[in-house]
Structures are given as structure tokens and as C-alpha cells.
Amino acid sequence: MSTTQTLTPTMKRQRRANLRRNAFYLILIVVGMVAPFLAYPVFLMKVLCFALFACAFNLLLGYAGLLSFGHAAFLATGGYITGYLLASYPAMTPEMGIIAGTLAAVVLGAAFGALSIRRQGIYFAMVTLALAQLVYFAYVQSPFTGGEDGLHGVPRGELFGIISLRSNLAMYYFVFAVFLIGFAIIQRAVHSPYGQVLKAIRENEPRAVSLGYNVDAYKLVAFILSAGIAGLAGSTKTVVFQLASLTDAHWHMSGEVILMTLLGGVGTLFGPIMGAGIVVSLQHMLGQSPLGNWVSVILGVIFVVCVLSFRSGIVGEINKMYHKNFK
Amino acid sequence: MTMIFGVPLAVFMGQLLLGLINGAFYALLSLGLAVIFGLLKIVNFAHGAMYMLGAFAALLGMRYLGINYWAALLLAPLLVGGFGMLIERFMLRRIGHLDHLYGLLLTFGLALIFEGTLVNFFGVSGARYPTPEVLQGGFQLGFMFLPAYRAWVLAAALVVCLFTWFMIERTRLGAYLRAGTENPALMQAFGVNVPLLVTLTYGFGVALAAFAGVLAAPLYPVSPTMGSSLLIVVFAVVVIGGMGSILGAVLTGLGMGLIEGLTKVYYPEAANTVIFLVMILVLLLRPAGLFGKEA
Amino acid sequence: MTFIKKTLASSIALAAATVMATSAQAEMSDGEVRIGYLADMSGTYRDLAGPGGLEALNMAVEDFGGSVNGAAIDVFSADDNNSADVGANTVRGWIDQDNVDMVAGMVASSVVIAVTKVLEENDGLGIISGSAASSITNEHCTPNHIHWVYDTYPLANGTAKAIVDQGGDTWFMLTADYAFGHALEGDVTKVVEENGGEIVGGVRHPFPTSDFSSYILQAQGSGAKIVGLANAGADTVNAINTASQFGLTQAGQQLAGLLVFLNDVHAMGLETTQGLLLTTGWYWNMDDESREWAERYYERVGRMPTMVQAGIYSSTMHYLKAVEEAGTDDPETVRAQMAEMPVNDFFSRNGRIREDGRMVHDMYLAEVKSPEASTHEWDLYEILATIPAEEAFRPLSESQCKLVQN
């Protein structure tokens, strides 16, 4: 901009924040590009899928103030639909499967949202939990999911019918691209005027109503968006691991994504990514160590510590420190 | 034979009775949840774990200290209730001023810790707790054989529920409790020690869960995961009844037991799910629950 | 390359191999034989395989001397949390990163099916000891895995046939509502009907279920002589306990536990389980050889081994012998070598590995002892009959496995 001298202090601060955010994006992309040469790509893909899932969840909790206890339903729906289509129709390419899975999650999200959006706080959490339990039941019963045995043998296939995703490296860059797209959509939504209204509703709903905003519609859009991206994460995960199972639909999964978000920092941009990274790494490392049996205890302790004295999460605490020391 | 929708009357009656007995467990557990929710406004996710701890207290008490069933029925709730009071005093109180969702998350974490720890020591296949001598055998009711122990469970649970209801509705302590639910600041101003009241309430709520746990010990294998599967159902019961409503929790608990019992006859695969369906219907038609007041 | 060069090269290689036969590191990937143990270490199936199975595997490695042809044996282990997801990922990581040569353990059928797909795709080798589903060597068979201990076919064939033969010809089926339960129910129905019996009713209960009273009541109302339990683990335990509370057996009906493990009987106690007929792949007290091994196991673990834990030891031993014999840990070669050698040890009698990956061996029909007949805590079964290896398992002629030419 050529008119720097006319900027107000607020605008300057805004610009600095934007600059800082862009720097973060750049770091994120560079780290993501080199990561598969430093760590096991399959592990990284798992982190990315859960990071996207946590980001989607964070959109709802952090920016709309809605705690959903049923987000596993969207992860599982994306996964099952994509897995089923790819396994049954060899002509399907992975990106078509993923789009279909995401759309299915969007539709389910619209249904969930329509039923639950008028409830608040604990009621909202309980209604989403109940709806997710119904979905879980449907997946246990439906023949196409394989029930308890799960859905297996999903081919990774060829992206756009050309690029084979069989190698972990090719698969990784595809997953990374999907993650960036999902992440960009969330960022775009949060920083748009729509996102501002959403935050206003979170802070003071009656005031937003009195200003003439259709609060329910705003929340519903957030819910559907969050569900769709959770579905995208589930679909991608299924392509990576070539299977879909009931684990993803279980209410424990809904609890896990809350933990990831809480640990990283609710309402922060990078918190959910960091939280997902930590939780997935913990499970990965502890699962194969003598401490393997203690994973759920350790997750529980993290939960308690987070709630008691660490509520802003890791990224949130860092932000606080930054603001205290440099402002 | 008389048939009801293709099911012999005898089987139908039997299922209703069994449903009522299961409903008694739901009632006890949801009663504790409702009491806690009423005053603390938190959804106690650790309630299932407390139920489990009650059963374990009875089991370990018998195994290592020779404490019999009847003593356990008294001691286990006291022990778990005391433990609950410590949790309230040193953890929940610290987040009392925050959004109540934090309470839900904290207790969720606690449940993970308790269950995970016990799994490491006791495995999950579950231990058996013997049925007390005097309650072995059963009654031939004509349409079914009713084990004496189940009859006792139904009676004991109903008595405790009634007692609790009486305490809350008809005694001074209960009046404090109800007033505290409405307006804690005013109560404090009147010189009532509200924080103590809150601690006692939480202790009482989880003691009810532990009592249910001891009742359940001779019926089901005592295992660290026995509470978590039950908990989600009980949540649904509390939501259907209207959160915080004492009478609502008890009646809904019994009612849901009946509905589940009937589902087991007509569509057994859905037995674990039917309650959630009811919950959604209720919330659509009566958002505050069957017995709740609209906020 | 010319023909002469080729021949020269290969004869040099051959010579080298002969020279190095005593220290065959060159033939072992990474100079080590790596075994991964994957099982439910913390959930429902913990007690039937779990940490005890890992201990059995370690025993096998120690008994073998800790190395094969000079190559050290390295054991990895992981908890699959009964999740296909976790299981498949772990095995994928083991193969990609750690070059694990063989995967042992494996209980939940969902985990097994997911893992075998990974093994097939990456040319690995797995030996399944825990799982019950007969589909593992039927429609889900691969050239990359072997199913060691038992499956639903002999369970039905052993227990159900014996009961029908004894006059228990009307059955009510209590089935866990998922693939394993359905498979077992199907196998039992077939056996019962083929032997002149009849299925008069049944109910499918959600998995898992803690309250069976309603289903037991329905079973009582059905008038069937036999109540067949096509479920596993905690569900079976709950169903049997509830049946005992409702006086099911006193009223003249009999229970048939189709998949009951030693740890289940131990947990429920003999008072509840006495008289229960069951089929098992092995029992610790069935002969001197078994006892000798079981007692060594008991000293390490403090519990008597289940058939799955014994099978883990047996299969690991057999695997290591095959590696030694073949001089390599290349999965395909070892798999072929394993199939060539008969399996005769304390666990398996008349055992051999079929082309579909099924290890067939003698199975046993057992009855749970009464409290009076039992002499100590783990004295739980009486072996009634041996089901010969050739009869116990699904014949290859009925197989849908792609590796079997029919």
C-alpha cells in the first residue's frame, strides 16, 4: 500500500497481525513440504487428517461457541461413503470419492444442524451426542459398512485417473493439499464479515438478534461448514488408510477431537493442528511402549490439566505470553 | 395363550417387569446426575465411573477386608461420596465461575483416568460378586421366575429415590438446596454456607451412583468399563426428564426402562438406541424435557 | 549379461551362501528376525491374549535361544485397542519403518481383516492366534497369513454336534449382532439342522450388552431345550450369569457356550458354569507336555494360559523353526517352509497348514467341572472327546478362498 502514513493505529495493528499470519502460513507450508523427508509419511498423514478434523471442530466451538459432542458422526460418514464408493466402483477416482463423502457429511450436517441449532450449551452438546448415537446405530446395522468388521480394501487409486497414490510420498502431498484447502476455507470463513458476525453471536447472542441478524441461520451455516470439513477429513483418512471402521463413529472420537482442540487452544488458528499433532503422536508413541496401557489415563490427565489451569491451550498460552511481553 | 402384538402375554409382562428393574438403575443414576446438575449446573461425566467405583469398593472390601454386602451398601457410598467431595472441593470449585461446559470436560477427563487406571490393575473381563445369602433363589410369579435379588433391587432403588425426593422437597436442608439452585448469591447473603452445600450435594449425588454400583455388583460382572456404557443412556434419561428435575429423573428413568424392555421384545438390535430416539423426539416437542421448566 | 556371467554370478552367490550358512545374517533382512505382537492389551479381549500372549511369545523366543542362525530375534509389541484403524496403521508402520518380518497375536476379527489386507499388499506375514472368524481363511484368505488356534467352524462342529447327539435337538440362539456372531449362528444352525435338530427361535442382541435378563426370559419362553450363545467375551459371561440368576438350567434348559475361554470360566466361577459344554483348541491340563509348558507359563504370569496364549507360543516356535530351516526371513519362503513341516508340539497334534492358511489340528470337546470335582483354582475342564483335525475344520471342498482350486 502506498498510503502508509494515512493508516490509523488500529489499521496498523491489523496489518501487523495480517503480516504475522501470512508468515505463519508460509512456515506451515514449508514445514509441510519438507516434513515427509524427516518423519514417517503415514504418521504425518494421520496427523493432518486429525488436524483438519480438529480445525473443523474448532470452527464451531471456537468461533460459534457451540460444543458439539457428536462430531464423530461426520468423520465416519465421510469415511464410509468414500470408502464404499471407491471399493465398489473401480472407475471412481479418489478425488471423486472424497467429494462424494464430503457432500454426504454436508447433508448430514444440515440435518443435525436443523435439529440441534436452537438448543444451547449443555443441551446442544447432548442433542448432538444423541444424534451421533443414532448414526452410530445406523452404521452398525447397515450392511455396506461391514458393521463391527469395518469396511476394508479401499484402493488408493489414481488421482484424476493419472497420478498413482500408491506411494506414501505421493499420497502425502495429496493429503497435504487437501488439508491446505480445508484450512484455507476455514480461515476464509473466520476472517470474513460472516466470521465477524459469528463471533458477535458467540459473545452476545441477544445483542446480535437485536441488531437484526438471523442468528440461527448463521449458526446453521457454521455447523454445516464444520460438518463438511470434518467429512472431508474422514474421507481423506479412508483413502490413506484404505479402511473405514466404527472407531471413527464412536462417541469416544467425539471426545478425542474436543481434547485435541482444547489442548492446542480453542479459538486459535493453529491450536487444533498442534493439539491433533500432540494427541496423535502420544497415541503413536505410547501405543508401542510399555506405557501403552496407560494411554487413556494420560489423555484423561491432559484433559484435567487443560481444564483446570491451561484453558487457553498451548497456542492460546503462547499468544497470551506474547501479548504480555511484547505489547 | 393371549398374545400382545404377536408376543405371548406372559413374556410381555415379564419384559415389563424387567424393564422396570433396569429402569430403577436408570432412576438412581439419573437422580444423582439431576441433583448435581440442579445445584452445580454441570453434567457429571464421571458419574458412570463413580457407579463403577461403588461396585469396586464393594468387591475389594469383600475380598480384602471381609466386608459383607449389607455393610458395603452403606460404606461404599460413603467412601465414594467422600472421594467425590474431595474432587468437588479441589477441582470443580476452581472452575465453578466458568462456562459449565468446562465441568463436563473435566469430569470426562476424570472418568478416563479412573477407568484406565482400574483396567490396568483388574483387566476388563470383570469379577463376580456373590449374591447375598438371603436374597438367593426367587419367586415363581406364574408368568415368569423373578430372582429375589432383582426384586430387592427394585424395592431398594425405589425407597432410596423416594427418600431423596422427600429430603429435597420436605426438609430444611432440601429447602436450602432448592433455594441454592435458584439463587446462590441470595442464599450466601442469608448466611447459608453455599460452597459447603455444593460440596455436600456433589458428594451425595455420586454416593447415589456408588449405591447403584453396589446394587449392580451381584447382577453384572464388576469391571472397570461397567459404568461408561450405562452413562450415555443415563444422560439421555436426564435430558428427556428435564435437566435438574428430581421427580422427572426418577419417573423418566423408570419409563425408559419400560420402553427399552419392550424394544428388546420387538426389535432387540435397537435396544441400545431407542432411548436416543425418544430423546430427540422429546427435545423437538418439549425442548426443556418432559418435566423441566423452559429456561 | 551373458549366460556365463550369470552362471558365474549365481554360483558365487551360492558359494557365499554356503559359507555364510552358519552366520546367515545376509539372508535375514537387517540381520535380525523381527516379530511384531499386536493384540488388545487393554480392552474386552485383554485377558484371553493381551500381555499374557506377549509373555508367551517372549518365552518362545527365549526357548529358541534368542537368535536364529546367528541373527538376533527382536520383538515389537503394540495395543490395537480393538480398532481396525489402529491395528492396520501399526502393522503398516512396522513393515514400512521397522522391517518387521512377522506379525503375531491379533484378536478382534475387524482388526485381523484390516491387518491381513495390509500384509497382502506389502508382502508381509501374519500368524493369527486370537480371532474366531472362519472367514479369515475363507473369503478373506490371503497368501500372507496363517490362522492358528481355532475358528467358528470347529466351535459349531464340536459343541453343537455333541449336544444334538446327546438329545439337545431344539435350540434357541442368542447371537451377538455383528459379523462374528452371525457367522457362528450360521455355522451352528447348519450343524444342528444337519444332525436332525431344529432352531426354534433366536434373538440378536447389541454388542456389547450388559443386561441379558430380557433375552434370557425370551429364551425361557421359547421352550427350546438348548440355549446357544453365539457371542464372546464379556457378553457370554453376562449371558451365563444372568441365566443362572433366572434359574434357566434348573428349569430344565441347557446352555451351550459356543465360544468360551478359560479366563471366562475362571472369572465366572464353577458354581455358575458347571456342566457347560465347550470346544477348545487346547487345555493346559490335558497331558504332561501341556502341563509342563503351562506351569512354566504360570510361574511367569501368575495365571494359567488360554488356548490363544498357548497358540502364540506354538506358532512362534514353528515360525522360528521354519526361518532356521529356510535360512531366510523372507515371508514367502518362510510361509512355504512352515506349510511343509507338520506341527506337532505340546499345543498341536496332527497339525498342518493348508493352502488357505488354516492350521488344522485336533480340537477338543470339554465340559466345565463342578466345584466338587475341581481340585484347585485352575482345574476347570474335563476333556470329553477329541475332534480329529480332518473333521474339525471347514473342508477345502467348501472353501471360497481364492487360493484354493475347486
Spatial CB neighbours of C318, under 8 Å, sequence gap ≥ 6: C338, C341, C343, C345
Spatial CB neighbours of A31, under 8 Å, sequence gap ≥ 6: none
In a shared domain, residues C125 and C255: no
pLDDT at A179: 95
Q: Which residues of A touch B239 (CB under 8 A)?
A: 123, 126-127, 130
User: Which of B33, B101, B267 is the mutation pick for testing A, counting most A CBs within 10 A?
Assistant: B101
pLDDT in tens, C156-191: 988 898 899 888 899 999 998 877 888 899 989 999
Contact between B272 and C220 using a beta-carbon 8 Å cutoff: no
Q: What is the CATH number of the domain that holds C253?
A: 3.40.50.2300
Q: Which domain holds residue C36?
A: 29-150+287-361
Tell how strand A158-159 and strand A163-164 pair up.
Answer: antiparallel
Confidence check: pLDDT of C122 > 80: yes
User: Which of A122, A134, A253 is the mutation pick for testing B, counting most B CBs within 10 A?
Assistant: A122
Nearest CA-CA distance, residue A253 and chain B, Å: 13
Do the domain assignments include residue B31?
yes
Q: Residue C148's pLDDT band (boundaries 50, 70, 90)?
A: very high
Element containing residue B108 per DSSP (H, E): helix B101-122
- In chain C, the number of structural domains is 2
Confidence check: pLDDT of B125 > 70: no
Q: How far apart are CA B251 and CA B267, in angstroms?
A: 24
Confidence check: pLDDT of B295 > 70: no
Q: Which residues of C touch A288 (CB under 8 A)?
A: 76-78, 90
Buried b (16+ CB within 10 A) or exposed e, B22-58: bbbbbbbbbbbbbbbbbbbbbbbbbbbbbbbbbbbbb
Q: Which residues of A touch B235 (CB under 8 A)?
A: 126, 129
Q: Residue B4's pLDDT band (boundaries 50, 70, 90)?
A: low
- Whether chain C has a CB inside 8 Å of the CB on A138: the answer is no
**What's the angle, vertex CA B160, arms to CA B156 and CA B162, rounded to 5?**
115
pLDDT in tens, B233-255: 888 888 888 877 788 889 999 99
Backbone angles phi, psi at B211, to 5 degrees: -60, -45
pLDDT in tens, A269-308: 889 999 999 999 988 887 667 676 788 899 899 889 988 8
Nearest CA-CA distance, residue C215 and chain A, Å: 19
pLDDT in tens, A203-242: 888 888 888 888 889 999 999 999 999 999 999 999 998 8
Contact between A43 and C93 using a beta-carbon 8 Å cutoff: yes
pLDDT in tens, B64-84: 999 999 999 999 999 999 999
pLDDT in tens, A88-142: 988 888 999 999 999 999 999 999 999 888 887 788 888 898 899 889 988 988 8
For residue C148, the SS3 value is coil
Q: Is-contact C38 C80, C-beta < 8 A?
A: yes
Do the domain assignments include residue C129?
yes
In a shared domain, residues C320 and C215: no
Do the domain assignments include residue C50?
yes
**pLDDT above 70: percentage of residues in chain B:** 96
Do the domain assignments include residue B282?
no
The beta strands (E) that lie in chain B are given as: 3-4, 7-8, 138-140, 145-147
SS3 of chain A: helix, strand, coil, percent, to 5: 80, 0, 20
| Cell 477407568 sits on residue | B115
- The chain B residue lying nearest C216, using CA atoms, is B15
Q: Which chains touch A (3 or more CB pairs under 8 A)?
A: B, C
pLDDT at A111: 93
Do the domain assignments include residue C10?
no
User: Which of C47, C79, C119 is the mutation pick for testing A, counting most A CBs within 10 A?
Assistant: C79
CA B163 to each of CA B39, B75, B170: distance values in angstroms, whole numbers, following the listed order: 19, 18, 10
Contact between A303 and B112 using a beta-carbon 8 Å cutoff: yes
Residues of B with CB under 8 A from a CB of C: 8, 10-11, 14-15, 18-19, 21-22, 116, 119-120, 123-128, 131, 138, 144-145, 147, 149-150, 219-221, 223, 225-226, 229-230, 261, 264-265, 268-273
CA B257 to each of CA B44, C84, C174, C214: distance values in angstroms, whole numbers, following the listed order: 21, 33, 21, 11
In a shared domain, residues C197 and C267: yes
pLDDT in tens, A159-200: 887 788 888 888 999 999 999 999 999 988 988 898 888 888
In a shared domain, residues C184 and C198: yes
Distance of CA C65 to the CA centre of its chain: 25
Q: Which residues of B touch C273 (CB under 8 A)?
A: none
- The chain B residue lying nearest C174, using CA atoms, is B268
pLDDT in tens, C282-339: 999 999 999 999 999 999 999 999 999 999 999 999 999 999 999 998 999 999 999 9
Q: Which residues of B touch A118 (CB under 8 A)?
A: 287
Contact between C78 and A296 using a beta-carbon 8 Å cutoff: no
Q: Which residues of C touch A243 (CB under 8 A)?
A: 84-85, 88, 114, 117
Do the domain assignments include residue B178?
yes
Q: How many CB atoms lie within 10 A of CB A230?
A: 34
pLDDT at A326: 64
Q: Residue A146's pLDDT band (boundaries 50, 70, 90)?
A: confident
Do the domain assignments include residue B259?
no
Confidence check: pLDDT of C226 > 80: yes
- In chain B, the number of structural domains is 1
CA C310 to each of CA C44, C116, C314, C347: distance values in angstroms, whole numbers, following the listed order: 19, 22, 6, 7
Domain spans in chain A, listed from the N-terminal domain onward? 39-250
Considering all CA atoms of chain A, what is the largest pairwise distance in Å, rounded to the nearest integer?
67
Do the domain assignments include residue B216?
yes
Confidence check: pLDDT of A1 > 50: no
Contact between A152 and C84 using a beta-carbon 8 Å cutoff: yes
**What's the angle, vertex CA C188, arms to CA C185 and CA C191, rounded to 5?**
150
User: Which of A44, A46, A152, A296 is the mutation pick for testing C, counting most C CBs within 10 A?
Assistant: A152
Distance of CA B179 to the CA centre of its chain: 24
Confidence check: pLDDT of A4 > 60: no
Do the domain assignments include residue C1?
no
In a shared domain, residues C240 and C377: yes
Confidence check: pLDDT of C22 > 70: no
B:35-54 residues touching chain A, CB 8 A cutoff:
43
Q: Which residues of B touch A301 (CB under 8 A)?
A: 109, 113
- Whether chain A has a CB inside 8 Å of the CB on B104: the answer is yes
In a shared domain, residues C126 and C50: yes
Facing residue for A133 by CB, picked from B99, B269, B276? B276
In a shared domain, residues C357 and C367: no
Confidence check: pLDDT of C23 > 50: no
Nearest CA-CA distance, residue A4 and chain C, Å: 53
Q: Is-contact C147 C122, C-beta < 8 A?
A: no
Average pLDDT, chain C: 87
- The chain A residue lying nearest B123, using CA atoms, is A293
Do the domain assignments include residue B15?
no
Of the candidates C282, C305, C314, which has an alpha carbon nearest to the alpha carbon of residue C51?
Answer: C305
User: Which of A297, A299, A306, A311 is the mutation pick for testing B, counting most B CBs within 10 A?
Assistant: A297
Q: Residue C17's pLDDT band (boundaries 50, 70, 90)?
A: very low
Confidence check: pLDDT of C253 > 80: yes
In a shared domain, residues C388 and C321: no
pLDDT at A144: 87
Nearest CA-CA distance, residue C86 and chain A, Å: 9
pLDDT in tens, A59-88: 999 888 899 999 999 999 999 999 999 989
pLDDT at C3: 47
Facing residue for A304 by CB, picked from B109, B116, B279? B109
pLDDT at B294: 57
ipTM of the shown complex? 0.83
Q: pLDDT: is A30 or C1 the higher one?
A: A30
Contact between B101 and A122 using a beta-carbon 8 Å cutoff: yes
Average pLDDT, chain B: 87
Residue C208: is the preceding peptide bond cis (ω within 30°)?
yes
Nearest CA-CA distance, residue A294 and chain B, Å: 7
Q: Which domain holds residue B33?
A: 23-123+148-224
